[in-house]
Structures are given as C-alpha cells and as structure tokens.
Structure 1
Amino acid sequence: MEELIINYTPTGMVPMKSDNPNVPLSVHEIIEDVHQAYEIGITLVHLHARHPQTFEPDFRLEVYGPILEGVRQHCPDLVCGVSLSGRNFNEFKMRSEPLQLLPDMASLTLSSLNFSRQASVNAPDMVQELLHAIYAHGAQPELEVFDLGMMNYAQYLIRKGWLKKPLYFNLLFGNIASMQPRFSHLGAVVQELPDDAWYAFAGIGDSQLPVHLMALASGAGIRVGLEDNLYFDSRRNQLASNHDLLRRVHHLANVVERPVMSSITFGQAGFYNTHRIKKHRHEHAN
C-alpha cells in the first residue's frame, strides 16, 4: 500500500481554550504539542501563530519565529508549513510576513469562500502575489482546495507557468459552503488533480473521521488535528486532543497496512525550503 502522508494541524485560527482546553495556543504549548506528535509519527506540520496575550491569530515574525525555531530544534527533519490565510488579515504584507522565516511550505487557498461565520477572501491578484512570494522565499505552496473551482484555478496557474511541480494539495470536505464528504465529491475533485500531485484529505468537524476512512481506502493522505475538529466522537460527547486524533489515524493506518511517510521522504521529494538547504550546505562547507 502507498505510504500515508499525515499533515498535522494542531492549532488553526479559530479554536480557543473555551472551546477545547487541549488546543495548544502559546508558543511553548505549540512546540511541545508538535514535538510529541513528531514522536508519534507525522509527515508535515501546518502551523498557526497566536497573539501571546489575546490568543487571536497572529502573523508577526516575533510570534511565528520562536514557534518555528522550537519545532525545528526538537524535530530537525520535519517539513514545517505556515499559514498565509486571509480570514483575519487581507493585506499582502501581513499575510506574507511569515515567509521571511523560510518555512518549508506556506498555505495558499486558491479562491475566496465562506465558512459558517466568516469569509476567507482570496482575490486572484492576492493568490498570484502570494504564490510568487512563496517561491521567492524558497518554499512550496500548500494548496488548499475547497471546491472544483479552486482546482480549476490551480490548473490555470499551471498553464500560466506560475504553479510548478512538486505539487501538494489539501482537499477539504465538510465546510458548509464547500465540498462534502461524499464519494461523488471526492471522486470529482481527485479526478481533476494534476499528474503526480501529492495530496491529503481533510474533514471539517464531524466529517473528519469519515473523510479519514475514505483517504485510507483510496490512497490519499490525511490532514488531522484540532484546527479542523474539536471532538473525538460524532455525538460530541468527548473533546479530542491532538494526540488522540493522531493515534487513531495511526491505528486505522495499521489496520489497512499503510505505513506513515517519513518527513525526510516527503521533504526530499522537493518540499524542504531550498534557501535553507543552500544555507545549510554553505555553513557546512565553511
């Protein structure tokens, strides 16, 4: 069976301690949470930063920097991604600021969409500017697709020569205004993936477990964490922890005999930051 990509999403932009006390929000909590997940087994991590006092989403280098530094110290070969989301910030300077830290990947939602209480605005010029900035900083885009229109836009960017291999997609299901966890929706969007694309399924809320099962059966990767789902069960009787959700994925992967892809394997496929690789080689050469 194909190796399983596990994209770990511990924090997100929305959850607070009042929603689930297990969500890591401080710099220390995020670093420790990711370190434990790394020991359990993940392929890449999708990081969000929070303001140290209010715990609202934050884009600033002084907040993101210590998170990336701490994660890299404990998990030196882990592919680390940052969020460039437009849900709370829609100015290019704000959204692109974390790229100065030379992450391996950076999220790029390919069009605008509505969530249950909020819009995520991604105008065409913003998507294109962010894409060029991601490449300029040696990173790879973590392409986020919520509907077929976004997949079509990815194909457009490829035709223009702006979006280049290797390609990694998160295909997200269960948002009220987006694709749903139905075989018809999964099949339609997977059929439109570019050749040789790497991809993972994500299920929002109660969709997470059904989507994970579909991913395991179909050969897709899995995105997992409290960013997408706060509960361990569909009846919402048991609040989840990141590591409970991750261990369940490992258990299910063992049942279907899909080994977890190492971060080194994924990174060496072209998903490590090229500027950091060159800097590392230069330092060792001297």
Structure 2
Amino acid sequence: MPLAMNREVFITCAVTGVGDTAHKSRNVPRSPKEIAAAAVEAAKAGAAVAHIHVRDPETGAPSRRNDLYKEVTDRVRQADIDIVLNITAGMGGDLVFGSVEQPFPLAPASDVVGASERFSHIIECAPEICTLDCGTMNFDVGDYIMTNTPSTLRALAKMMTDFGVRPEIEVFDTGQLWFAKQLVKEGLIEDPVLVQLCMGCPWGSPNDLDHFLVMAKSVPSNWTFSAFTIGRDAMAYPAAAVLAGGNVRVGLEDNIYVGKGQFATNGQLVERAVNVVENMGARVIGPEEVRRKLNLIKR
C-alpha cells in the first residue's frame, strides 16, 4: 500500500504523563491547576487535543484520583479557549513483581484494579476521548508489566462505546494493533476508529522508520491514526506521521527537551509541530473540525 500524505492534520499534546519526568524538569505540570494551564497553553499554540494524566500535587507521582481528574477537566472547560479532552484510562493495570527469585508477594508499587474502577473517572469527567492501551507489555522498568488482558480490554471497550466516549486505541506493537482490529470486528469499538501508534517505548515497537511504516501500513485505510515516539527523536516524528498519512502527538509526556540541554514547555513543542506540519504543505485543523471528523460528543 503506497503512503498518502495527510493534508488535514490535528495535533495532540500529551501534557504530563506518568513517567519520572516531574523531577527532571520543572516545566512538567503536577497539580490540577498546572496541568489545566498546560492544556490551555497547548491549545493556544495550535493543539486540537489535550491528552491528560494526573499526578499527586505534592510528590509528582502518577495518580488515579477522580477528584484530580475532575478539577483538571473543570478548569480546562472554564478556560477561554477550546480543546478536545482526551483522558487516559490506562491506569490501574500496573503489575510489579517482588523480585526475580521471589515474584510474590507483589511489590507495593503494584496498582491493579477492575475495569469499572479504571473507568470511573471517565464517567465522572465525561471527556470526548479516552485511551485504551490495547495489550500487555514489559516496560524498561525492572519488574513492571503493563497489564491489559483480552477480557479487560473487551470490557473497557464496551464501557467506552456504551458511554459515548471515543476510544483512542494506543498500540505499542503489531500484536496490539491486531487485537484492536479484533475489537472492531466484534463490534466493541465503533466507527470512526481512532488509533495512536506509540513508538520507541521499551519494549514495544522500535521507533525506526522500518517498524513505523509496518505499523502505519497495517492501520486500515478507513481508520484515523496519530503517531509519536519518545525521547530525542520525538520532534522528528511529526514529519514521519504526516508523510505516512497520520496525525501528530507531542508533549512533555514523551519528551522534555526542545533542544540539546533546553527544557521545553508544552507550548513550545506544539509550536514546533505546527511549523513542521505547515512547512510540509499541510494544514493544522482545530478542535471543532476534529469533533466533526471523529464524531465526538462535547459534554
């Protein structure tokens, strides 16, 4: 299948994430007020979508607290600029074994809860999009495994569809994309289907162009996809994503630098992405066009 450049591109900004970046850069937002302000900053720079995690305001550690999500979404909705809200539903599947020789009991850092609890903040906040991490995967963090069993994914996909929130299917390798197609085939995810290709996260799909093109070419032509990679190549990926027919994700969740030794803000990363997209001859579209494209429900 030949690649077809995308001429109408939307940009997602992942404003904070859950990684240990808040202790590396003071620009990574922690509190609900800071996270909401980062989403507004991204919108003013040209992002149509804000991807939201929350953190403990005191420690910067990742959190699942519903009240923190609610405060962020309320603040963003009360702001003087529009942006599509995309809230993670990927928390609550964190399995950390004790050690190589004694895997049980699980380490205290484990956080594994049922599907309904993983979805409870989505019901309370009612965003337009929420993420569905479409598989189980080893991450490059000791004995940590991101767990998403087929039964859990089927349950979450049905909850999202029934509630009227658009799943953003996050896939980290080709097997997860294969299962995403199965969820669509079973009617658990409805059109229009939205996919995020997550490249370069150890130990998922590497971020080299060969692997990326395999992923991009495997996305059905009637689906909408975005792509990103983490780390030093993050700001090169907008060009690759657009050229492959996709959309763009940047943000401090994926990369904390705007240049060598220069800590970025979310707004700076979005501005760089806008420049890349426009210099390629494509147009950056806004939140209302994204809502029409993806048939989103604005609460």
Alignment partner of 1:54: what SS?
A: coil
Q: Which residue in 2 is equivalent to 1:279?
A: none
Of 253-262 and 139-148, deviating more is: 253-262
- CA separation in 2, counterparts of 1:183 and 1:266? 27
Which is richer in helix? Answer: 1
Matched, 1:116 2:140: yes
Contact 1:173 1:211 in 2 (8 A): no
- CA separation in 1, counterparts of 2:170 and 2:7? 22
* Structure 2 counterpart of 1:60, from 44, 62, 65: 65
* Structure 2 counterpart of 1:13, from 7, 10, 18: 18
Post-superposition offset of 1:21: 0.7
Post-superposition offset of 1:212: 2.1
Q: Relative to structure 1, is the Cα distance of residues 255 and 79 closer, same or farther in structure 2, using a 3 angstrom cutoff?
A: same
Alignment partner of 1:142: what SS?
A: strand
Q: Which residue in 1 is equivalent to 2:98?
A: none
The code of the aligned residue for 1:90 comes to: V
Of 142-151 and 200-209, deviating more is: 200-209
Matched, 1:167 2:196: no
Post-superposition offset of 1:204: 1.0
* Structure 1 counterpart of 2:273, from 215, 224, 249: 249
Post-superposition offset of 1:182: 2.3
- CA separation in 2, counterparts of 1:18 and 1:121? 26
Structure 1: gaps (5+ residues): 277-286
Percent of matched pairs sharing the same residue = 25
Post-superposition offset of 1:99: 1.4
Q: Which residue in 1 is equivalent to 2:3?
A: none
Alignment partner of 1:232: what SS?
A: strand
Q: Which residue in 1 is equivalent to 2:245?
A: 219
Q: Which residue in 2 is equivalent to 1:98?
A: 121
Q: Which residue in 2 is equivalent to 1:282?
A: none
Matched, 1:69 2:50: no
Contact 2:228 2:238 in 1 (8 A): yes
Q: Can you list the C-alpha shifts for 1:128-148, whole angstroms capped at 9, x where unaligned?
A: 111111122210101101111
Q: Can you list the C-alpha shifts for 1:89-119, whole angstroms capped at 9, x where unaligned?
A: 4312431111112111111011011221132
Matched, 1:33 2:38: yes
Kindly tell me the number of residue pairs found equivalent between the two proteins.
273
* Structure 1 counterpart of 2:55, from 50, 57, 62: 50
Root mean square deviation, CA, Å: 1.8
Matched, 1:204 2:230: yes
- CA separation in 1, counterparts of 2:136 and 2:69? 25
Structure 2: gaps (5+ residues): 1-5, 95-109
Q: For 1:79-90, list aligned pairs within 5 A.
A: 79-85=84-90, 86-87=93-94, 89-90=111-112
Q: Which residue in 2 is equivalent to 1:126?
A: 152
Q: Can you list the C-alpha shifts for 1:29-64, whole angstroms capped at 9, x where unaligned?
A: 111111121111112111011123333222222111
The code of the aligned residue for 1:24 comes to: P
Q: Relative to structure 1, is the Cα distance of residues 42 and 82 closer, same or farther in structure 2, using a 3 angstrom cutoff?
A: same
Matched, 1:182 2:205: no
The code of the aligned residue for 2:146 comes to: S
Post-superposition offset of 1:14: 1.3
- CA separation in 1, counterparts of 2:169 and 2:62? 20
Alignment partner of 2:228: what SS?
A: strand
Q: Which residue in 2 is equivalent to 1:78?
A: 83
- CA separation in 2, counterparts of 1:255 and 1:188? 25
Alignment partner of 2:258: what SS?
A: coil
* Structure 1 counterpart of 2:293, from 266, 269, 282: 269
Which is richer in strand? Answer: 2
